[in-house]
């Protein structure tokens, strides 16, 4: 008996959102999408009950791409979903699962396995946060309830566990009944909220700071205008990301198509420059987030303070500063300042690498350059690799695309109507564009982080938000076209 036969009774019984029977009208899709977004914003404003204060958000620097909200019931955000997707893509890319996503039975097993893995990741991520003191329980509450401190810790974990499961099913509701994907919409929602606050916020907003400099409350010098007060560089970077992403989304190679039976029926299959979209970037950044999460857990459980006030990781009682050295605050180890985990940490803002500034990094110049180089290499190569995995698992590869064109009754003019022939034509473009697009997105993400953005939105988060919004616009336009011309829906399949 193979693993599929052994796991089938469990995986096929995993709870799931029922698929709609037939076509869902566009207005109903919008209602479902809007309803889930309202629920999402409501849950992000519900704080975790039972915290004592002094909590730390391990994923704070990655919050823009992991969605959710710090210290709310959605504290984990989409992190467990993304981590589960990374594991499945790696296993699928190595062909260790033996699942054919074109087979309905294997599709059910794949979806069940993904949900089971997400639940496992919720436990694997949330439990160490509670037990390691990053989400500390309130001793006073435990005493007033007459329960041990472990009881309050269990209550805290239960809240974030329920939040992780809710966001999983909210994503599934939007994917099946709404417009776009839940993961994408949650990222856009979080980034948009931070962006609006960064522009019109009452204290640190861009317009508020400009007003302060105009009336003389803040000195109008070059550092303030370009830096954290005026944020001119951040504003230019934000606008540039918008323009570059929209332009890159419009760059494409169009392969001509014609209908095999209907004369005059022609079309084009677009192979975009960012063919795999920017969603693989979530996987790359999530991998970095998990690495940093591992480092924080290690130093919190086995760390020793050395000269200079740094806390270094210990293994079997031996100090290993080469593995990770962290700055120490009143709440414990904070950011990596040396060792392997420092070089693996992403560049988040200009002060992380502009060593010539007074507020710049304290490390040596060669260490800063090594960190920037590592981040660039990690994002460019990782973006290309995960783009390849994404294309294959999302049925966007040459073989799957050729089969879809064949099933629609279309063919490439001048070539025989054969799946193998169409696949060979697609192989000329799709693999190369996938790698180039994935690497380009990785480069853009790092450059945006290095220059900074308005509202402290990470460059990766802004990049994702713009691209997801653009694709959402295209999907809405397609849905409206299908509503106006039902025959097109029948041609391309319900």
- What does the DSSP assignment read for 176-218? HHSSS-HHHHHHHHHHHHHHHHHHH-TTT-HHHHHHHHHHTSS
In a domain, 40, yes or no: yes
Distance CA 308, CA 293 (A): 23
Report if residue 352 sits inside a domain: no
Question: How far is 488 from 317, CA to CA, in rounded Å?
Answer: 68
Q: How many whole angstroms separate alpha carbon 169 and alpha carbon 213?
A: 47
Q: Is residue 37 domain-resident?
A: yes
CATH number at residue 162: 1.10.3370.10
**Residue keyed to tokens 């997801």:** 468
What pLDDT is recorded for position 455? 74
Q: For 324-343, how does the pLDDT look when each residue is reduced to its tens digit (9 = 90+)? A: 888 877 665 678 888 999 99
Q: What is the mean pLDDT of each run of 10 residues along the chain (494 residues)?
A: 77 85 84 93 92 81 82 91 82 72 78 90 91 88 89 94 94 90 87 83 76 73 63 82 85 82 73 82 85 86 72 84 82 78 88 82 90 94 89 82 82 81 88 91 88 78 85 81 60 48
CB 73 within 8 A of CB 360: no
pLDDT at 9: 84
Query: How far apart (Å, rounded) are the C-alpha atoms in residues 486 and 481?
Result: 8
Q: What is the DSSP letter of 51?
A: B
Classify the C-alpha dihedral 108-109-113-119 as positive or negative: positive
| Closest-CA residue to 386 (of 61, 77, 84, 85) | 85
Burial profile 325-334: b = 16 or more Cβ within 10 angstroms, e = fewer: bbebeeebbe
Domain that holds residue 55: 1-11+26-178
In a domain, 88, yes or no: yes
Q: What is the DSSP letter of 320?
A: -
Contact 10, 116 (CB under 8 A): yes
pLDDT of residue 42: 94
Burial call 181-210: b when 16+ CB within 10 Å, e when fewer: bbbbbbbbbbbeebbebbbeeeeebbeebb
Burial class of 358 by CB neighbour count within 10 A (0 to 12, 13 to 18, 19+):
exposed
Rg of the Cα trace of the chain? 25
Q: Give alpha helix (H) positions in 427-458.
A: 430-451
Helix (H) or strand (E) holding 406: helix 398-407
- pLDDT of 15 reads 87
Query: Is residue 173 in some structural domain?
Result: yes
Burial 368-405 (b: 16+ CB within 10 A, else e): beebbebbbebbbebbbbbbbbbbbbeebbbbbbbbbb
Total residues belonging to the chain? 494
Phi, psi at 458, each rounded to 5°: -65, 155
What are the structure tokens assigned to 92, written together?
Answer: 């699928």
Q: Six-digit token pair at 296? A: 């924080």
Asked if residue 225 is part of any domain, the answer here is no
Number of domains in the chain: 1
CA–CA distance, 355 with 223 (Å, rounded to integer)? 15
Query: How far is the C-alpha of 332 from the C-alpha of 311, rounded, in Å?
Result: 9
Q: Rounded to an integer, what distance in angstroms lies between the CA atom of residue 376 and that of residue 362? A: 21
pLDDT per position as a tens digit, 374-414? 999 999 999 999 888 888 877 788 888 888 888 877 788 87
Please state, in angstroms and rounded to a whole number, the distance separating the CA atoms of residues 69 and 77: 7
User: pTM to 2 decimals?
Assistant: 0.79
Residue 46 lies in a domain: yes
Closest CA to 411 of 227, 267, 243, 274: 267
Instruction: Specify if 217 maps to a domain.
Output: no
pLDDT of residue 37: 92
């Amino acid at each position: 008996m193979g693993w599929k036969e052994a796991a089938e009774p469990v995986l096929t019984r995993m709870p799931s959102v029922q698929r709609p029977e037939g076509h869902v009208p566009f207005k109903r899709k919008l209602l479902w999408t809007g309803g889930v977004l309202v629920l999402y914003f409501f849950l992000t404003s519900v704080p975790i009950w039972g915290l004592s204060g002094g909590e730390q958000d391990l994923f704070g620097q990655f919050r823009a791409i992991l969605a959710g909200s710090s210290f709310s019931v959605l504290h984990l955000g989409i992190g467990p979903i993304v981590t589960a997707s990374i594991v499945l893509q790696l296993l699928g890319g190595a062909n260790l699962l033996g699942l054919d996503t074109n087979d309905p039975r294997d599709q059910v097993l794949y979806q069940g396995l993904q949900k089971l893995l997400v639940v496992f990741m919720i436990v694997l991520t949330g439990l160490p946060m509670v037990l390691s003191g990053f989400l500390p329980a309130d001793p006073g509450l435990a005493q007033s309830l007459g329960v041990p401190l472990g009881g309050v810790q269990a209550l805290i974990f239960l809240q974030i566990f329920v939040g992780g499961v809710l966001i999983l099913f909210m994503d599934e509701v939007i994917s099946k009944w709404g417009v776009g994907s839940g993961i994408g919409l949650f990222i856009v929602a979080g980034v948009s909220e931070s962006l609006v606050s960064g522009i019109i916020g009452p204290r640190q907003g861009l317009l508020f700071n400009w007003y302060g400099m105009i009336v003389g409350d803040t000195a109008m010098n070059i550092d303030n205008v370009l830096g954290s007060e005026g944020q001119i560089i951040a504003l230019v970077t934000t606008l540039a990301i918008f323009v570059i992403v929209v332009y890159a989304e419009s760059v494409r190679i169009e392969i001509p198509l014609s209908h095999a039976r209907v004369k005059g029926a022609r079309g084009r299959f677009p192979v975009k420059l960012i063919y795999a979209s920017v969603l693989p970037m979530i996987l790359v950044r999530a991998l970095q987030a998990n690495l940093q999460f591992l480092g924080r857990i290690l130093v919190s459980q086995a760390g020793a303070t050395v000269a200079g006030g740094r806390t270094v990781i210990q293994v079997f009682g031996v100090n290993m500063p080469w593995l990770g050295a962290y700055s120490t605050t009143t709440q414990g180890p904070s950011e990596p300042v040396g060792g392997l985990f420092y070089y693996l940490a992403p560049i988040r803002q200009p002060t992380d690498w502009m060593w010539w500034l007074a507020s710049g990094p304290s490390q040596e110049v060669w260490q800063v350059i090594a960190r920037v180089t590592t981040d660039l290499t990690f994002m460019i190569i990782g973006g290309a690799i995960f783009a390849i995995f994404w294309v294959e698992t999302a049925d966007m590869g040459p073989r799957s695309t050729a089969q879809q064109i064949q099933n629609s009754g279309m063919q490439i003019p001048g070539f025989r109507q054969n799946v193998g022939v169409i696949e060979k034509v697609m192989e000329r473009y799709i693999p190369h564009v996938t790698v180039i697009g994935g690497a380009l997105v990785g480069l853009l993400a790092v450059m945006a982080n290095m220059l900074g953005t308005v509202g402290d939105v990470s460059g990766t988060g802004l990049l994702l938000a713009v691209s997801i919004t653009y694709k959402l616009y295209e999907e809405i336009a397609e849905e409206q076209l299908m509503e106006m011309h039902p025959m097109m829906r029948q041609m391309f399949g319900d």
